[in-house]
Structure 1
Amino acid sequence: MCESPEDLNYDCNFNMFLAKTMLTNLNKNEDRHKAVRWMRKLAQCNRSLEEMKLRNDFMYYLVINIQAGELQPPFVDSPPQAPLPTIAHLLPGGVGIDLEKEAEWADPTKGGREPRPLLYENSPDGGEFLAAQPVPRCGAFCYLAVVARPNTMHD
């Protein structure tokens, strides 16, 4: 999916607006300050399209935390000084498709040890949508898709 910087900034600004308006959901004043520090850090992350996408992922999870009224990792601590790409592993469920593993799956000559998951094989987008979805810390993950396929049966 190719998103423009304008689209990514619009999404970020919308999530910033949501986060700011819901800050009162956080009962602890300390949590509000942490959330604001995260918003300030994320607002500065716009050096590349990849960084902007990652910023939006962090913003999405921050908004969900604020909406729930309780900060969860990585937001329980102030944001690290490190650049955003180096802390991407802090996102719940990881970030998107692991590009190195995807390359191994795509190229059998790389000697990948794991076969590509069947879910990715059968997905029309190669699993891109699923990989970008949040994975719950506990409980179940359910995915239902309805896809129209051309009728290949001839009478």
Structure 2
Amino acid sequence: MSLKDNEEFKFALRDIVNNSFKLEDQFDRVRCTEWVHKLSMLPDDSLENLKIRNDYIQYLRIMVRAGILHGIFSESPPAVLSPFPEAIGKHMTAQIPSLPPMGPINVYMKHWSPDGRAYVAIKPIPGKGVLTYLSVTPQPDGSRN
């Protein structure tokens, strides 16, 4: 969908491949391959999928450079990937019992107009209403005629 997001993903993949020799544990190499395959198979047809894919791949890239996989990457990828902050939150609450249980993070509504000139985002504020953001531009590419 977004060329920048796809390029960021490809760059991270190349970096993981170039640094995969740092993973000394054979099981880490297998899990890294599983995660790369899972992330590569995510469709790039929505902004949510692009964000999920790029968030996970960037964190995986950091771990591969460090030479060890841990946290959410210590297991094979789940069938359905939840948003990255939600997955990290659930993992942290499982490791630290004194933290309150993590539930799903409220996803806010966001929409681009068909001509690309307007963007609206709405997020609920519990017990208070909603936060609304609207951005409008005279031209979709930012140029002025």
Shift of 1:16: 0.4
How far apart are the structure 2 equivalents of 1:91 and 1:5?
Answer: 25
Q: So what's the TM-score if we normalise by structure 2?
A: 0.60
Partners of 1:81 and 1:88 in 2: CA distance: 17
1:30-51 CA-to-partner distances (Å, cap 9, x unmatched) read: 1011001100100111231111
Match of 1:104 among 83, 102, 125: 125
**Letter aligned with residue 30 of structure 1:** F
Q: Secondary structure at the match of 1:103?
A: strand
**What's the Cα RMSD here?**
3.1
Alignment correspondent of 1:89: 86
Q: Which runs of 4+ in 1 moved over 3 A?
A: 85-88, 91-94, 97-100
1:77 corresponding residue in structure 2: 75
* Structure 2: gaps of 5 or more residues: 93-101, 109-122, 131-145
1:50 equivalent among 48, 51, 65: 48
Give the aligned partner of residue 138 of structure 1. none
Q: Are the equivalent residues in 1 in contact too, given 2:55–2:84 (CA < 8 A)?
A: no
The structure showing larger relative contact order (alpha-carbon pairs under 8 Å, at least 6 residues apart) is 1
Assess if the C-alpha contact under 8 Å between 1:22 and 1:67 holds in 2.
Answer: yes
Where do 5+ consecutive residues of structure 1 fail to align?
113-155
TM-score computed with the length of structure 1 as normaliser: 0.57
In the alignment of these two chains, the number of paired residues is 104
1:17 counterpart letter in structure 2: R
**What's the % identity of the aligned pairs?**
26
Name the SS of the counterpart of 2:74 in structure 1. Answer: coil
Quick one: distance in 1 between partners of 2:88 and 2:36? Answer: 15
- Structure 2 residue 30 is the aligned partner of structure 1 residue 33: yes
